[in-house]
Amino acid sequence: MARFLYSTVLIVSVFPLHTTSNYGPSDDQCFCQLSGKVEDCCCDVEAVHNLNKEVYPKILEIVKQNYFKFFKVNLGRSCPFWPDDGTCSLKDCSVQTCKEDEVPEGVKGYHDPKKSYNHKPLKVQKENSKRQTVKEQPKKCKGDNSTLGDVNIHLSEEDKQAFETWQQYDDAENSFCQPEDELSADLKYVNLLLNPERFTNYKGDSANRVWYSIYQENCFKLPNPYTEKYEASSALNQLCLEKRVFYRVISGMHASINTHLSAQYLFKGNGFMKPEWRPNVEEFKKRFDPEKTKGQGPSWLKNIYFLYLLVWRAVIKAGPYWKQEGFFTGHKSEDGLVKKHIGDLLLQSRNCPSTFDETMMFTGDPVTSRGLKEEFRKKFRNITRIMDCVGCQKCRLWGKVQTQGIGTALKILFSSNQFAEDTVSPSFRLKRNEIVALFNALGRYSSSIHYVQMFRSLTRR
């Protein structure tokens, strides 16, 4: 999320939310040379490295496709929690939105039956199938030569609005994200490839307040965070699995953001050298070196692996849904290529079949579990709304992409009775923006793991 919160190390050192471990590296070993089991997951670090090495190029190829590179977002919504501090005036904070003719018609959801598209989106195919089923041959009544007319399957505009309202309500019940107003004229398409997540120099009180609010006000509280004898590992282990998972999700996203801004850091150059974006080893050390983070930096990095595995699990679990999804852009060859890429990705995922086990969460007493799940959902929805308080447009964009991507993963994992073996319930659906956010979030965490390996090499030179 670009330069989202410059002083993140200071903030997190005040709120030690992560487990600590003995990561004292030897002289020839980087502190980012992680190993062992990824806490609260079914994989170890070595397995994640092997998996990511295989799938990283494929994930990058997927998010470059038209279906995944256009994200619809409102970057102008006001902060609901405190007065706006004003937007970042730096040029690297700005976001370039798309012109109407730059976005494929299929991506925008348009489908003209008179136009020669290569194929129809899944939604249209289902609707046509229903029409063929309902419309039968005219029938005659006994003792009467009169003919019954065809069943009128057309809906009035009022009926359509009612159905849409019901669907939005159903979606909201399962959603972990604060939904965008689909009818707002402020929603614009953004080409994510033209607005990459990287350093923007956004910092100060505005940025600090965002993370303070996320950690201190919207996360489940850790016991006694200010005592001198406080140990993050023991405090975190006192929490139930659900609360630990919540922490690791936020921590993993936070660490991923800091990894990206360190890997895509702006060196302004001088009269002889042009400005360029490249890795900044010192910035990476400042954010994760145990000596500069009270020993916690490596644990923060390890939570990227946790989040990566959680999102991976959602992508794998939704496999039956991807098989029926059209990934429609209006270009048959490109849509087919996307389906092939995702099919290949699911095949490669078998190299690490055990990732994250969501069935261990929200078990036990039904009343208590339902209450905890609802609290979990509301807290994460609140965090998605806090993204409207980020002053840097580019940081806000990637904050929204990632929180919606994580929210979509949580929706897949915790929507009850929607997936069974290789089938998916007809009532389960994902909006295009949710799919785009999910795969781009996976791309962020895959890239972060790649960058951690890169910094490991750079720090050993």
Q: What is the pLDDT of residues 104-121, one digit of tens each?
A: 989 988 654 345 444 333
Structural domain contains residue 255: yes
d(Cα 391, Cα 172) in Å, to the nearest integer?
Answer: 27
* Any domain includes 121: no
Active site residue 389: no
Q: Does residue 258 contact residue 301 with C-beta atoms inside 8 Å?
A: no
pTM of the model: 0.81
Say if 27 falls within a structural domain: no
Residue 24 lies in a domain: no
Q: Is there a catalytic annotation at residue 395? A: yes
pLDDT tens across 240-287, in order? Answer: 999 999 999 999 999 999 999 999 998 887 767 788 899 999 999 999
Mean per-residue pLDDT, 170-187 = 72
Which of 41, 43, 79, 392 is an active site residue? 392
Percent of the chain with pLDDT over 90: 48
Residue 198 annotated as binding site: yes
130 part of a folded domain: no
Is 211 labelled as part of a ligand binding site? yes
Q: Look at 420 and 188; give whichever has higher pLDDT.
A: 188
Tokens of residue 166, six digits: 């019901």
| Domain residue limits at 338 | 35-82+147-171+180-219+238-460
pLDDT of residue 136: 38
**Is 6 part of a structural domain of the chain?**
no
HSE at residue 310, side-chain half, CA atoms within 13 A, is 34
- Per the annotation, does 251 bind a ligand? yes
Catalytic residue among 177, 219, 352, 395: 395
In a domain, 202, yes or no: yes
- The string of pLDDT tens digits covering residues 198-248 is 888 887 778 888 988 898 877 776 544 434 334 556 677 788 999 999 999
Positive/negative CA dihedral, 451, 455, 458, 460? negative
95 domain residue, yes or no:
no
Give Cα separations from 350 to 36, 47, 55, 146, 381 (angstroms): 20, 12, 11, 62, 32
**Domains contained in the chain, number:** 1
- Model confidence over 28-58: pLDDT tens digits? 567 888 889 999 998 899 999 999 999 999 9
